[in-house]
Chain A
Amino acid sequence: MTQILIGPLAVAIISTVLAFLIAIIDKVLNNYGQVKISINGGKKVLEVKGGSPLLGTLAAEGIFVPSACGGRGSCGACKCKVTTDVGPHLPTELPYMSPAEIQKNIRLSCQIKVRKDLEIELPEEFFSVKKFQTKVESIKNLTYDIKEVLLALQDGQTVEFEAGQYVQLVVPPYGEITESVQRAYSMSSRPLDKTHIELLIRLVPGGIATTWVHKFLKEGDRVEVVGPFGEFHIHDTPATMVCVAGGSGMAPFKSMLYHMYETGAFQEKEIWYFFGARTTKDMFYLDELAELAARWPRFHFVPALSEPKPEENWKGDVGLITDVLDRYVQSTIDKSKGLEGYLCGSPGMINACINVMKKNGMTEDKIYFDKFA
């Protein structure tokens, strides 16, 4: 009897002793004390406890660097410039860095541990980034695979953003997904409505966040979003806007168009909006945008189907959105004030559109885009 007991007992005691040792070593070694993080040459100085990755340390202080994977080093989004020497780039950072970025000390903030006083540089816009508690006010089906999700901000919070920017949706663990992830979605709501955030979300088969939104999210649920982020916005020039979108790439343009229409901003700009889909099943907001175009002379809406079926009775343009764009830029659009390209959609669509625009004499520095990664 004792012989049977001694074995497991010995294993248990050895495990306990080792676990205890590890805990002590962890406590002693990972104690870096109070550390100062100085941001943008001392504009903001944080006193934090050392030992954790920079990304999480900053988030705990209310500064949210965009990150899609939540700090596992698999998205490469959380880049920031670290001017203090924290050693060479880690193998986990290198896949996401260009040689120029390595030269400039750009690091992945989720991979850098805060061990000593740090000096870092962040875009000013990150200071206005906040975490918002929201409640799902409504979910509408726009097409069979795109949903319009309206989130109402809670606790009297308000959001300040520019049309075209995006937020990160915090997806909690669900089903077999055991870790929280964040995914970026452009806001389709108007900047003037400071108490709501609207997102257009297309179901990506196998996508963690989109599956959650489409299959699990219900009206009344609580959702966290972090934002706003992004450089995609209307440029204040007299040049004509040539906007191209497909699928849920509609979102930033919905925000921009209604913002311009309702506030009369960017008076001089004429706007062409090309929206491509395969069949009428993939089309949405058709009536709303046609109506907007009828009321608003400087806005022209060109929806196009690439594979219309005869029974659909489609009266608009037919062809790949790049071909339609090419036709209009060559013959219909007035180029006297210059053209600016605004693109939002899949990388394939964006690259194809950039080629068409360059072919028609538009320069790359005047083509702005928001690629879905």
Chain B
Amino acid sequence: MINAPDVGLLSLFLASILTSNVLLANFLGTCSFISISKDFKSSMGLGVAVTMVIGICSAICWAVLYFIIKPLGIEYLSFIIFIIVIAAVVQMLEMIIDRFSPGLYLALGIFLPLITVNCAVLGVILFMQIRNYNFMQAVIFGFGSGAGWWLAIMLLASIRKKLDNNNAVPAGLKGTGITLITIGFMAMAFIGFSGMIAVQ
């Protein structure tokens, strides 16, 4: 029923982290990327949360796509349905973590509501839809993209920490200005990976 592309799971995983990094190749989820990356610890928390949410939402949305949306022929509503599903899943995750792991909630809890509106989540799920991934591919791609986002925000947070520590940045560029330039350089650096594994 699904005309899934012929890619191995490992190469799909690596590709979603490096060659088609959701942040640096597709520029999705940039708002929280820029605002949270000024703090190393928060970046860690948000990175974990994004990875978890994208992974879980990919699995659930895959099921919704192939068991509800496609049989009913309502692909034109998939955006709306995905957004509703993501919001609900994030809400449930927040309640479950809050109850069973206060420690984890402490680290991730305040970021979970932020993720509902993180476009990386919706973006990854839409990629999954147009690329016709099968279930395993969708899950791997979801977790991989989340991990890629996590990697990118950790890199940026480290770079920003270094930049803050020396006064070489001109006053007019401090803060968001130099951050955007940094992201540009990072994106160019990540193009270097593009010859390694090609997954579309």
Q: Do A and B bind each other?
A: yes
Chain A residues near B (Cβ < 8 Å): 3, 6-7, 10-11, 14-15, 18-19, 21-22, 25-26, 29-30, 87-88, 90-92
| Contacting residues, chain B, for A30 (C-beta < 8 A) | 95, 99
- Of the listed stretches B24-32, B76-84, B134-142, B159-167, name the one at the interface; the rest are far from the partner chain: B76-84
Residues of chain B from 64 to 118 with CB closer than 8 A to chain A in the complex: 64, 68-69, 72-74, 76-77, 80-81, 84-85, 88, 91-92, 95-96, 98-99, 102-103, 106, 110
- Would you call B84 and A14 a contact (CB within 8 A)? yes
Q: How far is the CB of B85 from chain A (nearest CB, A)?
A: 7
- Would you call A25 and B96 a contact (CB within 8 A)? yes
A-B CB contact pairs (8 Å), 10 listed:
A6-B72, A6-B73, A7-B77, A18-B84, A22-B91, A29-B96, A88-B106, A90-B106, A91-B106, A91-B110
Q: Which residue of A7, A21, A26, A92 has the most chain B CB atoms within 10 A of its CB atom?
A: A7
- Would you call A6 and B74 a contact (CB within 8 A)? yes
A184 to B76, CA, bound (A): 54
Q: How far is the CB of A285 from chain B (nearest CB, A)?
A: 48
- Would you call A87 and B85 a contact (CB within 8 A)? no
- Would you call B95 and A29 a contact (CB within 8 A)? yes
- Would you call A21 and B88 a contact (CB within 8 A)? yes
Looking at chain B, what size class is its interface with the partner chain? 20 to 34
| Contacting residues, chain A, for B72 (C-beta < 8 A) | 6-7, 10
Q: How far is the CB of A312 from chain B (nearest CB, A)?
A: 47
- Would you call A87 and B103 a contact (CB within 8 A)? yes
| Contacting residues, chain B, for A3 (C-beta < 8 A) | 73
B95: contacting residue among A7, A15, A25, A91, CB under 8 A: A25
Q: How far is the CB of B95 from chain A (nearest CB, A)?
A: 5
B92: contacting residue among A15, A22, A92, CB under 8 A: A22
- Would you call A11 and B81 a contact (CB within 8 A)? yes
| Contacting residues, chain B, for A25 (C-beta < 8 A) | 92, 95-96
- Would you call A7 and B76 a contact (CB within 8 A)? yes
A18 to B96, CA, bound (A): 15
A7 to B78, CA, bound (A): 10
| Contacting residues, chain B, for A90 (C-beta < 8 A) | 106
A7 to B85, CA, bound (A): 15
A14: contacting residue among B73, B81, B96, B110, CB under 8 A: B81
| Contacting residues, chain B, for A15 (C-beta < 8 A) | 84
A18 to B91, CA, bound (A): 10
A22 to B92, CA, bound (A): 6
Q: Which residue of A3, A25, A26 has the most chain B CB atoms within 10 A of its CB atom?
A: A25
- Would you call B77 and A11 a contact (CB within 8 A)? yes
- Would you call A10 and B68 a contact (CB within 8 A)? yes
Since A22-B88, A25-B96, A30-B95 are in contact, a sample of 11 more A-B pairs with Cβ atoms closer than 8 Å, ordered by chain A residue number, is A7-B72, A10-B69, A10-B77, A14-B68, A15-B84, A21-B92, A25-B92, A26-B95, A30-B99, A87-B102, A87-B103
| Contacting residues, chain A, for B91 (C-beta < 8 A) | 22
List 5 tightest A-B contacts by C-beta distance, closest first: A18-B88, A29-B99, A7-B74, A7-B77, A87-B102
A25 to B74, CA, bound (A): 29
A91 to B42, CA, bound (A): 10
Given contacts A30-B95, A91-B110, contact A14 B103 (CB under 8 A): no
Given contacts A15-B84, A18-B85, contact A10 B95 (CB under 8 A): no
A128 to B72, CA, bound (A): 64
- Would you call B74 and A10 a contact (CB within 8 A)? yes
A5 to B21, CA, bound (A): 39
Residues of chain B from 165 to 181 with CB closer than 8 A to chain A in the complex: none
| Contacting residues, chain A, for B99 (C-beta < 8 A) | 29-30
| Contacting residues, chain A, for B68 (C-beta < 8 A) | 10, 14
- Would you call B80 and A11 a contact (CB within 8 A)? yes
A259 to B9, CA, bound (A): 82
- Would you call B85 and A14 a contact (CB within 8 A)? yes
A10 to B96, CA, bound (A): 27
A260 to B26, CA, bound (A): 74
| Contacting residues, chain B, for A29 (C-beta < 8 A) | 95-96, 98-99
Residue of B nearest to A18 (CB): B88
| Contacting residues, chain B, for A19 (C-beta < 8 A) | 88
Residue of A nearest to B42 (CB): A91
A21 to B85, CA, bound (A): 12
A30 to B94, CA, bound (A): 12
| Contacting residues, chain A, for B84 (C-beta < 8 A) | 11, 14-15, 18
| Contacting residues, chain A, for B96 (C-beta < 8 A) | 25, 29
- Would you call A92 and B110 a contact (CB within 8 A)? yes
| Contacting residues, chain A, for B85 (C-beta < 8 A) | 14, 18
A29 to B77, CA, bound (A): 32
Q: Which residue of A14, A30, A87 has the most chain B CB atoms within 10 A of its CB atom?
A: A14
Residues of chain B from 36 to 73 with CB closer than 8 A to chain A in the complex: 64, 68-69, 72-73
| Contacting residues, chain B, for A26 (C-beta < 8 A) | 95
Q: How far is the CB of B117 from chain A (nearest CB, A)?
A: 17
A91 to B105, CA, bound (A): 11
